[in-house]
Structure 1
Amino acid sequence: MHIVIAGASGLIGTSMSAAFRDAGHSVVALVRRPPAGAGEVRWDPAAGVLDPSALAGADAVVNLSGAGIGDRPWTRKRVEELFSSRLGPTRTLVQAMAQMDTPPATFISQSASGYYGDAGNTVLREDAPAGSSTLAQICVEWEQAALAAPAGVRVVLPRTGVVFSRSGGALGKLLPLLRLGLGGPFGNGHQFWPWVTLPDVCAAFLFLLDSPVSGPVNVTAPEQADVNTIVAALARALHRPAMLRVPAPVLRTVMPGLGEELLLHSQRMEPAVLASAGFRWQHGSLEDAARWVVAKDGSA
């Protein structure tokens, strides 16, 4: 299969590109700089510029574009960038496909667990309504932009949860503290984090390339867990205590908006579509995931 991927340079994109190639697929990455080789094509999503010929012969387009949600404080300018860095590339890809006589058969366009907002203990399957938070609005508009793809293109919207990696990602700042015995839950710890490991994200996208599934797909592990449970599992795997709780008021003060929506909102997601389609997780249990995260035999 020939795959064109946007957003290939990030944590998920780098691992996913490698996973696609390991599975025997050819991959071309869309880049904003001069191409470094035949495996790259330049585009300018901010200006809406992409030569449709870049997608010629592609069986699938995978869209992972978007500025990092937790990289910087949520100033008004940064929030605008969170929107534009997702909507611009998605609309540019859709416009390019619309100019083709035969567009790619599949368009997998990333979304996120933030779609559901703060849902407490409610179990969230793919038919659950959108929330009202900033992240929810971003995801709603992001998905709508992808769904404007030409008729006949299978559009898949992976609502990816909190990605566990051995380096960087959601645990990038928490793991070093836990290794020192200085980490702990955020807020009261009762909020559900819809976790999933990086290898399972890559495997899920590979699965979705060949699956007939379309529409929203919760890309999370099947085992639901709140923050208290997740931090405790990681601490056990590290053989460290996890006693230092970070109070919610402190998070709201130090990380306005960011701390609230990323760390305190609760999304108890169930990957109903993946499960019913027959997907199998490598790290389906939290204990397995925690052991993998803290292992020293890899850096993914």
Structure 2
Amino acid sequence: MISNHRIIITPGEPAGIGPDIIIKLAQKKWPVELVVCASPKLLYDRAYQLRLPINLYFYDPNNINKNRQSSSLAIIPIKLSNPVIPGKLSKDNSKYVIKTLIKSCYECIEGRFQAIVTGPVNKYIINDAGISFTGHTELFARLTFTEKVVMMLVNEKLRVALVTTHVPLKSVPDFITKNNLYKIINILHQELKKKFSINNPAIYICGLNPHAGDKGYIGKEEIEIIIPVINELRKKGLKLIGPLPADTIFQENFLKKADVILAMYHDQGLPVLKFSGFNKSVNVTLGLPFIRTSVDHGTALEIASKGTANPESLFMAVNLAINMIEKTNE
């Protein structure tokens, strides 16, 4: 039985495996109506290449299709700029990719969808087309006028959130400020309560420097910034542990007690999570006015249209979005 909820999905880079895994997604029954924002021709062509059936019907904002047949998806059509050759990037289609993201975001802002699930994009080709783009997280924050969002990745074993996302390593310390850290920890605490039903989440926090600064001998950020913020928020009742060295915080004795690990930068936390379950993780943006989840992998151009793309991360992203919708509406 399909509920009264809808999820909008963007396939991402048209020359990559995004369309492949969307076609595979359509082969399953889902408890919510899934609506893809994409080129119908792209999906029909890719389904033909994969030798899988697909039936697309136009999305009706006034009527949820509760009798969806197998291999069918609702669609909001977006026209491609150029014909797509699987595995071959085209700068011209970067505008198409951004259009799908903007349209989907505005549909969520208007309340017609409870969540957005995004497929993999190629940031290089988008920027090479002259479009400034650092990632979905930053784009959706800008479009929704959200001052601060938090990127978190989730798999069956752990959750890892980030203080900084797609910034050069040399710039990371500039973003580790009391104000920034205070806001991020608060968002993380509130969103885990609201969207994951964790009453008082245990947030384990990494130090920035090796050995968490070693009492100031290997950096002062822990003493001057991280510890004061932790102490202040503890007084408000937040369950915070740290700062702990990043090379020990992922041990089992910590992980079994932690609801989330907060890493200071991208490559401090995500290599561990992806090693523990690559292609079995989901990217979540916390702090937006709607739910957003995403796959944990890239465009995999070399296998586009070959039939070998693994859709598991997309399935997990959809399932997590459904669970978050349910938790939010409890």
- Relative CO higher for 1 or 2, CA cutoff 8 Å, sep ≥ 6? 2
TM over 0.5: no
From the CA coordinates, give the structure whose radius of gyration is larger: 2
- TM-score relative to the length of structure 2: 0.32
